[in-house]
Amino acid sequence: MTVPSCQSCDRLLIVIPTLNEADHIQGVIQSLLHDAPPSTILVVADGGSTDGTPTLVRQMDDPRIRFIENPHRIQSAAINLAVAAFGEGATHLLRADAHALYPRGFVRALLEDMRATDATAVTVAMTTLADQGFVAGVAAAQNSRLGTGGAAHRMGKGGRFIDHGHHALIRMDAFRDIGGYDARQSHNEDAEFDHRLTRNGGRIWLSGRTQMGYFPRQTAKALFLQYFRFGAGRAQTLLKHDLLPRPRQFLPLLVAPSVGLAVVGLAGLMLAPAWGWLALIVPAGLWAALCLGYGSALAWDARRAAVLWAGPAAMLMHLGWSAGFLRQLASHLGGQRLWSAVRNQ
């Protein structure tokens, strides 16, 4: 398929998976449709919101907006359902997040980048937005190497080809060629998709013309659970394609075992030799000191006391990601052993 050379030729399908996004959904829809091609269809695929999100979407007076229910609840399934229902004739797919802030000109910039670079997909830089209390620390951590490890769409400079980034614009023919998203995967589905896309010859461009804002989780529990699911999804992707973690992911993978061993060491303080429990506690202590020290440096640079939360927030992110990854790995290996035992009966 030849990529259209004019914006009037572009037939765009925008899909926004939602679950309880009443605070953001109307603003996101308005900003995305502001400069979208005339033939654009925007689909909100809702996973069972109970906060009035569906009502707010249906109240919007724009013939380009569609609403569907997503009984599977997860984002990968939502995208596939929307493409199956409304993707006929579309040349491009734009995956958008409801929990986000998109600048004016966002859609136009992505389409122009795709035409200029002949990329298969165009991704954008993401900046976490928050300025008070705990979430200010979460934002600082997620906008730094402390929380991202230097991911290209978080820390890298735009205007270049990369192997993975936060999803935005995708050529519809390429999406269909690789079978869309894996609807069995609830998290890390974008990285899994990008692996298949690039393996199939696709190229991913990180735009330097625009970016998006992201609103973080508001509580420590929600942040931990989010990263637990991220870690589990990453393990699922690596196991599925026989891949190894990236270098920046190895350090977090040591976190959960270190913390667990440190707890065991403290619990057995009276029963173990001093060198034994110290050997368990020291790695966890060094990791905690690194996070807290880095967070303090971020707070000093920002001249804002709230950014001191970056250290504890990063610890929750690392611990959650590591625990989720190892939990998924253990589940996979346990299932493999069980299957082998059944086959050998």
Domains and CATH numbers, the chain: 7-216 (3.90.550.10), 239-343 (no CATH)
Residue found under tokens 């995708």: 170
pLDDT at 343: 45
Q: With contact defined as beta carbons under 8 Å apart, do 92 and 12 qualify?
A: yes
Give me the residues paired with residue 128 across strands. 214
Q: What CA–CA distance (Å, rounded) separates 278 from 166? A: 41
| pLDDT at 302 (0 to 100) | 92
Residue 43 half-sphere exposure toward CB, CA atoms < 13 A: 25
Report how far residue 145's alpha carbon sits from residue 155's, in angstroms, rounded to the nearest whole number: 7
The CA-based angle 140-141-147, given to 5 degrees, is: 150
Q: Are 130 and 136 in contact (CB under 8 A)?
A: yes
- Decide if 319 contacts 229 (C-beta within 8 A): no
User: Which residue from 240, 275, 279, 247 is spatially nearest to 261, judged by alpha carbons?
Assistant: 279
Distance CA(174)–CA(196), nearest Å, equals 10
CB 159 within 8 A of CB 122: no
Q: Which residue, among 94, 95, 84, has the nearest Cα to 179 in the 3D structure?
A: 84
Beta bridge partners of 14: 42, 94
**What pLDDT does 44 receive?**
97
User: 64-81, pLDDT tens digit by residue?
Assistant: 999 999 999 999 999 999
pLDDT at residue 319, rounded to an integer: 87
CA distances from 218 to 111, 128, 133 (A): 33, 12, 10
Helix (H) or strand (E) holding 213: strand 204-214
Predicted confidence at residue 2, as pLDDT, reads: 43
The reported pTM is 0.85
Looking from the CA of 321 toward its CB, the CA atoms found within 13 Å total 21
Spatial separation of the C-alpha atoms in residues 68 and 39, rounded to whole Å:
19
Q: What is the pLDDT of residue 169?
A: 96
Three-state secondary-structure class, residue 67: strand
Spatial CA neighbour of 149 closest among 285, 294, 269: 294
Residue 106: count other Cβ atoms within 10 Å of its Cβ: 25
Closest by CA position to 41, among listed 7, 67, 17, 70 = 67
Q: Both tokens of residue 176?
A: 């269909």
The pair of three-digit structure tokens given for residue 228, joined into one six-digit string: 């637990």
Predicted local confidence at residue 339, as pLDDT: 42
**What secondary structure letter does DSSP report for 87?**
-
Q: What is d(CA 304, CA 343) in angstroms, rounded to the nearest whole number?
A: 60
Instruction: Specify the residue for token string 């993975």.
Output: 164
Residues lower than pLDDT 50 in the chain: 1-5, 269-271, 338-339, 341-345
Residues making up the chain, counted from first to last: 345
